Amino acid sequence: MSNVSMKEIVNLCQNRWFVFQGSEIYGWLANAWDYGPYGSLLKENIKNLWIKEFVQKRDDMMLQDAAILMNSQVWVASGHVWGFSDPLIDDKNTKERFRADKLLEELISEMWDKASTLQDKYWVSNLVPESWSLEKQTEVMRWESVKNPNTWESWDWTDAKKFNLMFKTHQWVTDDTGAEIFLRPETAQGIFVNFANILRSSRRKIPFGVAQVGKAFRNEITPGNFIFRTREFEQMEIEYFCEPGKDLETHAQWKQACREFLLDTLKIKEENLRFRDHEADELSHYSNATTDIEYMFPFGWWELWGIADRTDFDLKAHMKESKQDLSYFDPVNNKKYIPYVIEPSVGLTRLFLVTLIDSYTIEQKWEETRNYLKLDPKIAPIKVWVLPVVKKISDIAKPIFKQLAEDFVCEYDDVWSVGKRYARFDEIGTPFCVTIDSENYDAWKVTVRYRDSMEQELIEISKLNEFIRVRLK
């Protein structure tokens, strides 16, 4: 488990230009976050690696970018207009709002801890508040005297109500009439509605998949834990279409692919991850299998990535609502069917948070404490920091910065002592520093310092770019 606290992560993000509070000069907008210079680069690098691994390096995947605003019928067909809601409950005394199912989950986890026999533990583990009616959730909240988690004193619960999580807006049709539309709560539906277009234009044979990255919006009842749960966030989603009956093996392959991405590409620590297969009573009615990849956040195990076998539910629903044919003719077996789909869906901003927590390192060295981000060099926001030992040699240092900036995202810094500058670069996870001094420059050399070991090496200027390129792979 990572020993870092959320407070340390939030401080790092705000002090080192990763993430700022949104609309800060106007007293902020709660739960809105702006990504600063290093945050934007880190987010972009994670996204590009995801595209590289899941699209560029495979011959069965394509990328698309659908609009955020879609015809409202899309959300009727997908079930979001009627079903995309959470049970909310208010404490009448404090006027605070909570998700009833989450409060009940906490109660159940306390009950599980207290259960002394295997039989009791088994009984408790079968309680799934998410699947209970609103009446049952209200009744249990009151019967068990569930406390307000913020005050631990007062609680006087209203009845649980359904609260649709989609943000509504209006698109003007004429001067005074507006059609109600929604900000998309997920990117996935943009892939289903384009299924026929993609089939026609790409002439792909099943199995194949489509990937999409983009913003999604959910009017969450209880956003929080910094950027973990926000109302505006980015998702990276895949819909992988396969033949009915091959869905379970395809689901297993995607579990493996996502595992490799987290462990081998992003180098997330294995002990901080767990794969949780949904039990039959947790599965959605249309799903044959669903796995949540959970991460051990400083506030507990929570979902990072969901991998769902959604069968033919979505394509069928859109066929019915749009009255368009979304079936596939398989030329090999000479048969027509509606493909099944596997959906690996991960929040880019949630994965961003995971990379920071997982790489946050505190080291005791020479009686000094060193904090740094042990980010994989591939996702580090700045790859090389260029620093002249003294300001006045900028005439020789600036051309070296230019030479490196041709190939890598670099920064130039000539303020403060070299030691202080190193500490700052380490803190944001810069894997290499290139230090320039007149003496070595006369021999056409510079010093390269490594973030993790802090070791230094003299390198010829003419070989510098290649030296770093090899180490970034």
The count of residues in the chain is: 473
Query: Which of 152-160, 205-213, 245-253, 297-305 is the region at the interface with ligand ATP (rule: CB under 6 A)?
Result: 297-305
Q: In one letter, which amino acid is 296?
A: M
**Per CB under 6 A, 218 contacts ligand ATP:** yes
The pair of structure tokens assigned to 378 is 């591939």
Strands 432-436 and 384-388: parallel
**Per CB under 6 A, 212 contacts ligand ATP:** no
**Per CB under 6 A, 255 contacts ligand ATP:** no
**H helix intervals, 147-268:** 189-192, 195-202, 247-260
Alpha carbon distance 159, 217 (integer Å): 26
- Which of 141, 144, 146 shows the shortest CA–CA distance to 159? 141
Measure CA 189 to chain center: 18
Give min distance, CB of 306 to ligand ATP, in A.
4
Query: Which of 52-60, 201-209, 298-306, 429-437 is the region at the interface with ligand ATP (rule: CB under 6 A)?
Result: 298-306
**Per CB under 6 A, 345 contacts ligand ATP:** yes
Give min distance, CB of 293 to ligand ATP, in A.
8
User: Could you say which residues in the range 185-204 bind ligand ATP, by CB under 6 A?
Assistant: 186
Q: Which is nearer to ligand ATP, 235 or 355 (CB)?
A: 235
Strands 328-330 and 273-277: unpaired
**H helix intervals, 310-442:** 313-322, 348-359, 394-405, 418-427, 438-442
The pair of structure tokens assigned to 69 is 């605003």
**Per CB under 6 A, 79 contacts ligand ATP:** no
Give min distance, CB of 223 to ligand ATP, in A.
7
Residue nearest to ligand ATP as judged by C-beta position: 347
The pair of structure tokens assigned to 51 is 């595209």
Residue of 16, 229, 251, 421 that binds ligand ATP (CB under 6 A): 229
Number of residues that bind ligand ATP (CB under 6 A): 16
The DSSP-derived string for 291-343 is EEEEEEETTEEEEEEEEEE-TTHHHHHHHHHH-----EEETTTTEEEPPEEEE
Q: Which is nearer to ligand ATP, 303 or 407 (CB)?
A: 303
Q: Which is nearer to ligand ATP, 214 or 347 (CB)?
A: 347
User: Could you say which residues in the range 346-405 bind ligand ATP, by CB under 6 A?
Assistant: 346-347, 349-350
Give min distance, CB of 218 to ligand ATP, in A.
5
**Per CB under 6 A, 87 contacts ligand ATP:** no
Query: Which of 17-25, 102-110, 302-310, 458-466 is the region at the interface with ligand ATP (rule: CB under 6 A)?
Result: 302-310
Instruction: Find all residues with CB under 8 Å of 152, minimum gap 6, and list them.
Output: none
**Per CB under 6 A, 220 contacts ligand ATP:** yes
Other C-beta atoms closer than 10 Å to the C-beta of 390 total 13
Q: Which residues bind ligand ATP (CB under 6 A)?
A: 186, 218, 220, 229-230, 233, 235, 303-306, 345-347, 349-350
